[in-house]
Amino acid sequence: MHTYIHTLHYIHTLHYIRTYTQEIRKSILNLERTNRTIEFSWVKAHVGIHGNELADRLAKEAACSTEIQVVFDRMPKSSLYSELEEEATQKWQEEWEQCKKAAVTKQFFPTLRDSINLSLNVTPNFMAVATGRGKTRAYLHRFKITDSATCPCNKEDKTLDHILCKCTLHKTQRDLFKEKVPGF
């Protein structure tokens, strides 16, 4: 049953056309032009249905034949592009995970595939937060620009993590954000 649905999916999906699928679709269109109606339906295998047994036998013969040359170089450009894109994204993801830099940014964007699909308004403030280079007290203290790294709430150093997740001074904004972003 799964194979049947799978096959039909490929035949009907315009965005994923492989060479054999194109040939099947062409044959169907040609038959329909001769006023024939083509319908697909699931049939049980190996119960003596003539057409199905014939198709099964021919498929086995083709698979076992040494005379039929298997062609792997016929692929639509669109499939090639999407396969290359997939491969490139995977490689990028591997390098992203192996890279020892950008620890903060990785926490925001662990999966590059998801990040690519996001529509983000990249402002300087957004970049400062996403790269961990926001001018927080802890950051400025690290470079000896401020005397203290401690947050005005006096609980701990004013890091990005503290501002976003813990600081009691920003509780109202945090609650408002949680309300607007369900599941956060």
Which stretches of the chain bind Zn ion, using CB under 5 A?
A: 151, 153, 167
Nearest approach, Cβ of residue 105 and Zn ion (Å): 23
Nearest approach, Cβ of residue 156 and Zn ion (Å): 7
Query: For 41-108, what is the HEC assignment?
Result: CCCCCCCCCHHHHHHHHHHHHHHHCCCCCCCCCCCCHHHHHHHHHHHHHHHHHHHHHHCCCCHHHHHH
Measured from the CB atom, is 140 or 153 closer to Zn ion? Answer: 153
Q: Are 157 and 149 a contacting pair, CB within 8 Å?
A: yes
Burial of 163 (0-12, 13-18, 19+ CB in 10 A): buried
Q: Which two tokens stand for residue 88?
A: 């490139």
Nearest approach, Cβ of residue 167 and Zn ion (Å): 3
Measured from the CB atom, is 160 or 167 closer to Zn ion? Answer: 167
Nearest approach, Cβ of residue 177 and Zn ion (Å): 16
